[in-house]
């Protein structure tokens, strides 16, 4: 029932070419039918994708429901899940207002790779203003992941490259399969990261490592990525989604307010000056402890209706 409602909400059955584009801006043409020089093909594509995504998820994205966990799958396996304008607009649309029952979201990719990055075939004709606008659309989409109302778990396998790594860096938890590898090949194409990677990736691995990756084309394996901070979990190939569901279901048992504080306030506290951070921390602590559900859970602990935290080995409690 939940999955049916989700499909009805996003109407995933209709292909993009059947979407009503009546509200998009008409293509400006000269009298001989050629496109006006005032707007490039790239600009028109970007406008149409943004407008269409307000109605539907594009064919490159598939949403499904697993109890309180919503799954969003990148579904362009023939293109190694390269991120085009329609996909980015769809990601922005989805994370701006996920299904109401959602307590956690899993982001994963179909096929052999998580994402090979930006679809370069869509950006070759872009002018500087259009490129800036495209980056801003990526910022909005990925900000909706990082600063949305629910935690996001990404499952990484195969290539996590360029814009795909920028996308993964916006998630709160990353589970990598052993096939995963990380790369930032922008410099070999003569371009630069444009999806927030220059801000998010150094937070994971440090600025000097990112510089090294971009200057030399260095890649990291899944095992190396675990130690560097690209992922927090490493599992065998084919087990990433199951691990992500396990984590997401555990996350979904937390209170909504506590999860919100963790994904919204904690990163900002970590980036702030100590005095401001201490103040924000105290405010969030006061707000969460005053929540009725939190009070019930604390009482359950005092009344020994819930187990204490156990050592991973099970040998002791603390």
pLDDT in tens, 181-221: 999 998 888 889 999 999 999 999 999 999 999 999 999 99
Give the rounded percent of residues in the chain with a pLDDT score beyond 90. 65
Residue 26, helix vs strand vs coil: coil
At residue 266, what are phi and psi to the nearest 5 degrees? -55, -50
317 vs 225, which has greater pLDDT?
Answer: 225
Q: Which of 47, 50, 52, 186 is labelled catalytic?
A: 186
Averaged confidence pLDDT in the chain = 82
- Can 8 be counted among the known catalytic residues? no
Q: Band of the pLDDT at 304, cuts 50, 70, 90? A: low
CB burial of residue 38 (10 Å; 0-12, 13-18, 19+): exposed
Rounded Cα distance between 164 and 117, Å, is: 4
- For the segment 90-98, the average pLDDT, to the nearest whole number, is 96
Give the rounded percent of residues in the chain with a pLDDT score beyond 70. 75
Q: What share of the chain is helix, strand, coil (3-state, %, to 5)?
A: 50, 15, 35
pLDDT in tens, 147-162: 999 999 999 999 999 9
- Can 303 be counted among the known catalytic residues? no
Q: Which of 47, 92, 166, 177 is labelled catalytic?
A: 166
Residues ≥6 apart with Cβ < 8 Å to 224: none
Q: Band of the pLDDT at 144, cuts 50, 70, 90? A: very high
Rounded Cα distance between 73 and 54, Å, is: 18
pLDDT in tens, 2-38: 444 444 444 333 333 333 333 332 222 223 333 333 4
CB burial of residue 205 (10 Å; 0-12, 13-18, 19+): buried
Q: Does the pLDDT at position 145 exceed 50?
A: yes
Q: How many CA atoms lie within 13 A of 32 on its CB side?
A: 1
């Amino acid at each position: 029932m939940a999955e049916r409602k989700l499909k009805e909400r996003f109407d995933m059955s209709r292909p993009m070419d059947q979407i009503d584009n009546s509200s998009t801006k008409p293509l400006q043409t000269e009298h001989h039918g050629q496109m006006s020089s005032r707007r490039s093909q790239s600009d028109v594509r970007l406008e149409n994708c943004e407008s269409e995504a307000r109605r539907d998820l594009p064919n490159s994205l598939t949403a499904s429901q697993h109890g309180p966990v919503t799954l969003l799958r990148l579904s362009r396996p023939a293109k190694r899940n390269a991120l085009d304008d329609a996909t980015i607009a769809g990601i922005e649309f989805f994370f701006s207002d996920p299904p109401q029952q959602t307590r956690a979201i899993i982001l994963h990719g179909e096929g052999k790779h998580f994402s090979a990055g930006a679809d370069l075939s869509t950006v070759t004709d872009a002018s500087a203003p259009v490129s800036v606008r495209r980056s801003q659309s990526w910022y909005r989409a990925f900000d909706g992941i990082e600063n949305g109302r629910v935690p996001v778990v990404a499952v990484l396998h195969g290539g996590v490259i360029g814009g795909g790594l920028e996308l993964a860096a916006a998630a709160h938890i990353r589970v990598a399969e052993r096939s995963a590898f990380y790369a930032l090949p922008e410099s070999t194409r003569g371009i630069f990261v444009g999806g927030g990677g220059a801000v998010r990736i150094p937070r994971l691995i440090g600025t000097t490592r990112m510089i090294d990756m971009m200057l030399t084309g260095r890649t990291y394996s899944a095992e190396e990525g675990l130690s560097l901070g690209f992922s927090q979990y490493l599992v065998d190939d084919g087990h990433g989604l199951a691990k992500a569901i396990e984590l997401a279901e555990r996350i979904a048992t937390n209170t909504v307010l506590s999860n919100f504080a963790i994904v919204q306030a904690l990163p900002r506290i970590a980036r702030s000056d100590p005095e401001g951070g201490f103040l924000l921390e105290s405010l969030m602590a006061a707000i969460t402890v005053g929540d009725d559900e939190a009070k019930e859970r604390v009482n359950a602990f005092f009344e020994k209706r819930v187990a204490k935290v156990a050592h991973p080995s099970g040998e002791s409690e603390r």
